[in-house]
Structure 1
């Protein structure tokens, strides 16, 4: 039995709005803008701009209701499908997609994209493009062998997962099992992009601490290779913002493709 005093993302109450406010908002008190916003935006923008990863369908598997990591993808995929485990996360994301009152404001992330791409004209239409491409926000069950059963999804050209594997895994076997389920959604030769925290142990949402699975760069690479992937790019950024709201040593970005 797990004796950890920490909560688990997929097993306990998770306030998706507070998660966004704590880690991804434009509030000066937000935690680690450099790691949670700029690092993924820079790496995704560079990776997609190289032109090797594109196609019809992109599937996103990430915690909470974040969307900023999809801004770089909307020019390279016709359809974006977001899979969530929790109804509350789906409702929060749909509020932004439908432009309803009270939706989370991602304009600061759009500004980061504009600065990185050196294209201020995109400020007006970037969020609109993401909304148009993001046609489905669906609930999944990661404990099923087929996580979308009974729904049948089109095979994806690319999967992005930002921080979900460490949020739901308790050990290496869990990580490998979930990675295998994610990978099953890809078409032959498809790409996967993993963004995560290395050597993490916990993160906080309000007064609650949530457990994070601790792994290193070598383990992540071996896990992907073991599932038949060829690693195309790996970037690691050491943590610079020190606080007691979360515990990790570095951010990691890996892009890989599956052998046909």
Structure 2
């Protein structure tokens, strides 16, 4: 059986999005390293979308996890956000928060920190409502089997945001490179690619289940991005993390690139 299919089926059957968010996205007093990573990401998104002015009409997020952290600053700079996830369970988890359903993950501590960066921590409720209004669609998408028809009705994106979406599903580097090139067709020439990637990580744990992860090094990631037709503008690394023996990696990379205007999809 195709390894990418095996990994996707394991995510569909065994991956609990709520447990994942609790383990990796909760601000808490037990893991300063984890908190440092969350703040590292929030500060970088704030810099990109608010300070540096990366903006436009449409942002498409190709997501591996049902997180809103990556979208909190983006909703100030884009008129619409379209979110895709690799499993239906992830889509459902995000929809719970969007629709204010019981049992939705509590994002308030993360939202408050994002608002603090923007100058007013007390406006967290307004921030949540603005993000809910800005997210226009939530779609399921298999990143290893890109189907242009799935995205045929979507407008060309000004920004493509990819967060942990390929390392958890791609079986090898060739599949990873192909997926990155395929999704680049959604982005306008001159548009921005923003990637958040776990570096040098072989697996991560959610609940009682261990999920394999594509082991990536900085040089390999940068080469794949350049081969897909991008010029790299920024590359930052977070601290390392040993989150309660759930995961070991060299850090989370934050990469910003621009799609070359003269390069073919």
TM-score relative to the length of structure 1: 0.91
Counterpart-to-counterpart distance in 1, 2:16 and 2:27: 18
Superposition deviation, residue 137 in structure 1: 0.5
Counterpart-to-counterpart distance in 1, 2:144 and 2:174: 14
Structure 2 residue matching 1:45: 3-state secondary structure: helix
1:121-150 deviation digits (Å, cap 9, x = unpaired): 432311111000001111223343425537
Unaligned runs of 5+ in 2: none
Structure 2 residue matching 1:74: 3-state secondary structure: helix
* 1:131/1:222 CA distance change after superposition, 3 Å: same
Query: 1:32 aligns to what?
Result: 34
Check if 1:217 corresponds to 2:218. yes
Query: 1:93 aligns to what?
Result: 94
Taking the TM superposition and a 5 Å limit, the aligned residue runs for 1:63-102 are 63-102=64-103
Structure 2 residue matching 1:132: 3-state secondary structure: helix
Structure 2 residue matching 1:25: 3-state secondary structure: coil
Counterpart-to-counterpart distance in 1, 2:151 and 2:134: 23
Counterpart-to-counterpart distance in 1, 2:123 and 2:34: 25
Structure 2 residue matching 1:223: 3-state secondary structure: helix
Structure 2 residue matching 1:95: 3-state secondary structure: helix
Superposition deviation, residue 120 in structure 1: 2.4
Taking the TM superposition and a 5 Å limit, the aligned residue runs for 1:93-172 are 93-149=94-150, 151-172=152-173
Counterpart-to-counterpart distance in 1, 2:234 and 2:139: 29
Unaligned runs of 5+ in 1: none
CA RMSD after TM alignment: 2.1
Superposition deviation, residue 103 in structure 1: 1.2
The structure richer in helix per residue is 2
Counterpart-to-counterpart distance in 2, 1:172 and 1:183: 17
Query: 2:9 aligns to what?
Result: 11
Aligned partners of 1:141 and 1:147 also within 8 Å: no
Aligned partners of 1:236 and 1:251 also within 8 Å: yes
Aligned partners of 1:229 and 1:259 also within 8 Å: yes
Check if 1:189 corresponds to 2:190. yes
TM-score relative to the length of structure 2: 0.89
